[in-house]
Every structure is written in structure tokens, then in C-alpha cells.
A = this chain, B = another copy of it.
């Protein structure tokens, strides 16, 4: 029963549930289940039915489109506090993407019926949900923009500039294969481009750590060339 308490506390901290009253929250907690996924393990595959949504409690998840040729296109990453799988749940369609743990991860799973109940009970929950989906839509449109309107080098630069920075330091959250896929590049191309940027003294790369030497010059590359 210690488990249940954990879930309660976790849920209460999630942005999605912030406005639920105690009773509603308790209901959610009772309906939800913990799911543990080891690194590299799949949460679901393309084609699986979607009966609920997941919230990341601890760890990290990547959503990707599998391709017949074995490679995959990474769509999005999810960190603790973020929900995924809702969109497909509302459509009664099977997943078109696969979810895989990037590290050992603890997920909360909530059944569709309970989500619907919460929507009926609390309009502000519905709004929160709408805002969540809108945010994702926004991000996807941005991705399409990046893929279509920017060349490989500009995509890498935008990505670098979008990453959270500590001083001038950026740290890749995942290995470069995954980053490359997110950017719609091959690992080889990413490697070459990072090398080029280093050669121009715009950045300095050390494994997953990147030092942004000249942010202005980098930004300029997005328009200039």
C-alpha cells in the first residue's frame, strides 16, 4: 500500500492534475497503475491499442516511428511530469508510434474511462488537457518547419540553441544516434556537421558536452547562408 501513497503524491505534483480536488485526485490514484520499464524496453509498439495515457514519473521515454528498414524516426522525448499517448486515446486508434525507455523508467498509467470521468467532473482538467495537446501540436509544426525549411546544418544549430544551457555549456541528453534521428539526419552527417562547426570555432565538442563559443555567429548562420 506504500505504492498507492507514492502515486498519490506523484500525481498531485503533475501539472496535468493540478486543479483536481482531493476526491478526484484520489479517484485517479486508485485508477492508475505503476509501470516499470527497464532501459531500452518498449512501453508499446506501433499497432497496439490505446486504452489510456502514460505519465512519466521517473526516467525518460522516446516516441519514434518505426520503419521497415529498421531505422526509426524519433518524434519526441518525454521527461518526468510529461504525459504521452493521450492523442491516440481520444481517437480510438491504435498507436502509430512506439514508445521506448531511454533509461530505467517509472510510468503511471491511467485508464481512458477515468480520464473521461475527470473531464466530466472538472472543466479545468479538460482545458489543461487541451493545452497539453496544443503544446504538442505546436512542437510538431515547429519540427515540420525545421525539417522542410532548414538544411542539415541549420537544423543542428537550431537544436543546439534550443537546448538548455548552463553558462555556455550544452549537454546532449541522449546519444548522438538518437539526436540525429530527431533531427532527421544520419549519425554520419551529424558528426560531420558538428566537426565543421568546431572547425569554424563556433562550438567545441567533447562527447555529449558542447560548448557554445559564439552564439551570435551561430544564430547568424540560420539566416545568412
Contact = CB atoms under 8 A, between A and B. Distances in A.
Interface string A139-175: 0111111011100000000000000000000000000
A134 interface: yes
Given A133-B137, A137-B137, A138-B91, A145 B73 contact: yes
B93 A144 contact: no
B223 A134 contact: no
B96 A65 contact: no
Interface size class of A (residues with CB under 8 A): 35 or more
A225 B20 CA distance: 53
A126 interface: yes
A143 B142 contact: no
B145 A87 contact: no
Given A87-B133, A140-B140, A147 B147 contact: yes
Given A123-B123, A126-B123, A130-B129, A140 B138 contact: no
B90 A141 contact: no
Contact of A130 (B73, B75, B130): B130
A6 interface: no
A141 B91 contact: no
Nearest to A148: B73
B65 A141 contact: yes
A40 B35 CA distance: 51
Interface of A: 65, 67-68, 71, 73, 75, 86-91, 93, 96-97, 116, 119-120, 123, 126-127, 129-131, 133-138, 140-145, 147-149, 184, 223
9 contacts: A71-B149, A73-B145, A75-B141, A86-B134, A87-B133, A87-B134, A91-B131, A126-B129, A126-B130
